[in-house]
Amino acid sequence: MSKSQSDSLSIKKVFGQSGFSGKVALVLSTWFGIGLFPVAPGTIGTLGAIPVVIFLIDLGVLYKSLILVIFTAIAVWVSGRAQDLLKDHDPSAVVIDEVAGFFLTMFFLPFSWLTLGLGFILFRFFDILKPYPIKRLEGLKGGFGIVMDDLLAGLYAYAGVRIVLLFV
């Protein structure tokens, strides 16, 4: 059985045995089940962030900042809770960190299909490759470690898009 299949079976079992807060943590951490996708859950989770980005396009910086801070705090909590429930360090089904990281990538960028596409590609590149010091952030405890590496990958992707936009 593949790791993602065993993860989803484990999640289904844990979900059934969890109380209300555990169920909420599992639903949010898997971004409403998107993280249970059997192939490339991180990439699918990032795709699941696109509606959030589009929904927040016209909000001002203050509102976006507030949403980002609240969303990140929630992501840290639910990721840590899911990690504890599943007894697995950084479970592949937990993709709310990709949502937070991609949201950060797109935060200050002018929205266009070009920036969305570049942001997506560069975010996935940095999230998968994990150049220094992204990889080190994974070592942080609990949900903080799960989310912080994706936020830094989001910042790297943002910088990459800005550099590309200088030449376009």
CB-CB contact of 75 with 124 (8 Å)? no
Q: What is the model's pLDDT at position 90?
A: 83
Q: Give me the phi and psi of 16, to 5 degrees please.
A: -65, -30
pLDDT in tens, the chain (168 residues): 445 445 555 888 999 898 999 999 999 999 999 999 999 999 999 999 999 999 998 899 999 999 999 999 999 999 999 999 998 888 999 999 999 999 999 999 999 999 999 999 999 999 999 999 998 888 788 899 999 999 999 999 999 999 999 998
- Token pair 């007894």: residue: 87
Q: Which two tokens stand for residue 130?
A: 């994990």
84: Cβ contacts below 8 Å, ≥ 6 apart: 142
